[in-house]
Amino acid sequence: MGSIGLAKDISANPQSQRRRVSIFGSTGSVGVSTLDLISAAPEKFQVEVLTAHQNVDLLAEQARKFSVRLAVIADESLRADLEQRLADTKIEVAAGRNALIEAAEIKVDWVMAAIVGAAGLAPTLAAIRTGAIIAVANKEALVCGGDLVLAELKKYGATLLPVDSEHNAIFQVLDFDQIDAVRRLVLTASGGPFLRLTYDEMTHVSKDQALAHPNWDMGAKISIDSATMMNKGLELIEAYHLFPLSADRIDILVHPQSVIHSMVEYQDGSVLAQMGAPDMRTPISYTLGWPERHTFDADRLDLARIGSLTFLEPDPQRFPALRLAREALKAGKSAPTTLNASNEIAVEGFLAGSIKFLDIISVVEESLNRASISELVSIEDIYENDRKAREIARSIMKSFG
């Protein structure tokens, strides 16, 4: 179990000055929401760096709008395309994995780490080493390299703020000075689009059905993870690294309305919950303004209109991803990295039509059974294990074909 690196002295970044910002994954749903918040308060923020994986059109549009210093496209084959779109500007253009890391090394005040998947680990570590405030929306970085991330936070004095609505909720109501008074954390889950379906009905669901989340507007990968509830399994591992409680004191509860984003139960019976409309701009805004609250025109929570809130225990038969996540966390070492890598490959396979929906978790479980568990000391170890796990998952998927 770990704990968030909290900055005790914030005098270096007074709120009277514009906060310098870098956004990694600016064309994804989190990145777009972050820029939406910043555009409403241009006097408070200066965007220095934007990065994207392949969406050249949107990246160029964003870079122009915010007059950034640097725009980076991860896919090196698209560099010339980005350069052409920004040729009449003074914006610097770069491409490739190393360029992402170099961009993260640029000193700013606040970094949004929103690159999807294990690819976000290296830039996140590079940003941590600058001592900045890191708003982490890339849960896979903590799943794959939680121990390494925490060690670097401590070494370089950086601050990590969780963007996932569940962890951000806990961060807002957890008394870090009285951890012994905490009985458990409760992560809430919407249950995704298939909460009411039987196991047999889930065998025939389509990609479009799986992408149609009932509450949240998210990217394809996280939407599928929500449908399998692997997203909540990854968040369990993320919470273990973020907050100083053992895994058996972190529970998951299905809450279809997504109004209560998570809860902290204390030893005296008190339960503190953070509530709000299901809008990712709320947790992003909290991290943007931290340690103050950044004001924006949010949808207001109308409990009278909602009427009632319901809660369910997650069904282990229909959503075995939660069991796999707990088993991987208990096994430790390279097991969570294998869990994440094999899931990324399986989700890609489902989105491409290579496997069925329920095959996703079957691929992950078989990958965990086949992969050896090893110590992960460095980022090179993490990426080597990630590579091997992906090979295993691809091999398993061929048999499903």
Give the pLDDT band (50/70/90) at residue 11. Answer: very low
Same domain (yes/no): 205, 100: no
CB atoms within 10 A of CB 267: 11
Q: Would you state the pLDDT for residue 34?
A: 97
Closest CA to 364 of 332, 333, 340, 330: 340
For residue 149, pLDDT over 70 is answered with yes
Nearest to residue 142, comparing CAs of 120, 174, 127?
A: 120
The pLDDT tens digits for 344-364 are 999 999 999 999 999 999 999
pLDDT band at 310 (very low <50, low <70, confident <90, very high): very high
pLDDT at 177: 95
5: confidence class by pLDDT, cuts 50, 70, 90: low
Give percent above pLDDT 70 in the chain. 95
Each residue's pLDDT tens digit, 57-105: 999 999 999 999 999 999 999 999 999 999 999 999 999 999 999 999 9
pLDDT at 215: 75
Q: For residues 109 and 193, state if they share a domain.
A: no
Regarding whether 185 and 154 lie in a shared domain, the answer is no
**Of 13 and 260, the one with more pLDDT:** 260
Residue 67 lies inside a defined structural domain of this protein = yes
Q: 128-149: string of b/e by CB count within 10 Å (b at 16+)? A: bebbbbbbbbbbbbbbbbbebb
Q: What percent of the chain has pLDDT over 90?
A: 87
Where residue 219 falls among pLDDT bands split at 50, 70, 90? confident
Same domain, 267 and 349: yes
Residue that the structure tokens 């007059």 belong to: 67
**Which pLDDT value is given to residue 10?**
32
Predicted local confidence at residue 222, as pLDDT: 87
174 falls within a domain: no
Contacts of 305 (CB under 8 A, 6+ apart): none
The answer to whether residue 329 sits within a structural domain is yes
Asked whether the predicted pLDDT for residue 118 surpasses 90, the reply is: no
Q: Domain boundary residue among 163, 197, 221?
A: 163
| Average pLDDT of the residues in 116-126 | 92
Domain of residue 196 covers 181-276+312-400
Tell me how far CA of residue 257 lies from CA of 135, 166, 168, 216, in angstroms.
25, 14, 18, 11
Q: Which spans in 185-229 are helix H? A: 199-202, 207-211, 220-228
Does residue 288 surpass a pLDDT of 50?
yes
End-of-domain residue from the set 135, 163, 191? 163
CATH number of the domain within which 147 lies: 3.40.50.720
In the predicted structure, residue 8 carries a pLDDT above the cut 80: no
Is 48:68 a contact under the CB 8 Å cutoff? yes
Which letter does DSSP use for residue 175 in this model? -
What pLDDT is stored for residue 9 in this prediction? 32
pTM given for the model: 0.91
Which domain CATH number covers 244?
1.10.1740.10
Contact 95, 119 (CB under 8 A): no
Let me know whether 131 and 188 are in one domain. no
| Position 244 in a domain | yes
pLDDT grade, residue 328 (50/70/90)? Answer: very high
- Say yes or no: 76 and 215 in one domain: no
Per-residue model confidence (pLDDT) at position 116: 85
- Residue pair 128/152 in contact by the 8 Å Cβ criterion: yes
Give mean pLDDT, residues 179-186.
Answer: 97
For residue 375, is it within any domain?
yes
Average of per-residue pLDDT across 137-142: 90
Distance CA 381, CA 397 (A): 24
DSSP for residue 96: S
* pLDDT, tens digit (0-9, with 9 covering 90-100), for 226-236: 999 999 999 99
Query: Within a domain: residue 305?
Result: no
| CA 238 to centroid of chain Cα atoms | 9
- Residue 286 within a domain: no
Q: Which carries the bigger pLDDT value, residue 294 or residue 336?
A: 336
The answer to whether 20 and 40 have CB atoms below 8 angstroms apart is no
Cα–Cα distance between 146 and 231 in angstroms, integer?
16
Give Cα 161 distance to the centre of its chain: 11
pLDDT at 401: 62
Among 294, 341, 297, smallest CA distance to 161 is for: 294
Looking at the fold, whether 153 and 247 belong to one and the same domain comes out as no
Residue 54 and residue 26 in contact, taking contact as beta carbons nearer than 8 Å:
no
Cα gap 291→379, rounded to integer Å: 31
Number of domains in the chain: 2
- Check whether residue 223 and residue 354 sit in a common domain: yes
CA distances from 371 to 85, 126, 284, 364 (A): 44, 29, 36, 10
Q: Residue 1's pLDDT is what?
A: 47
Same domain, 149 and 199: no
Task: Identify which of 26, 56, 54, 53 has the alpha carbon closest to the alpha carbon of residue 38.
Answer: 26
Q: Would you mind telling me the total number of residues written for the chain in this entry? A: 401
The confidence band for 148, taking pLDDT boundaries of 50, 70 and 90, is very high
Where among 110, 129, 163 does a domain terminate? Answer: 163
pLDDT tens digits, one per residue of 125-137? 999 999 999 999 9
Tell me the pLDDT tens digit for each residue of 289-298. 999 998 888 7
Tell me, yes or no, whether 70 and 159 share the same domain. Answer: yes
* Residues 264 and 395 both lie in one domain: yes
pLDDT in tens, 183-199: 999 999 999 899 999 99
**Domain-embedded: residue 301:** no
Residues 223 and 137 in one domain: no
Cβ contact 18:163 at 8 Å: no
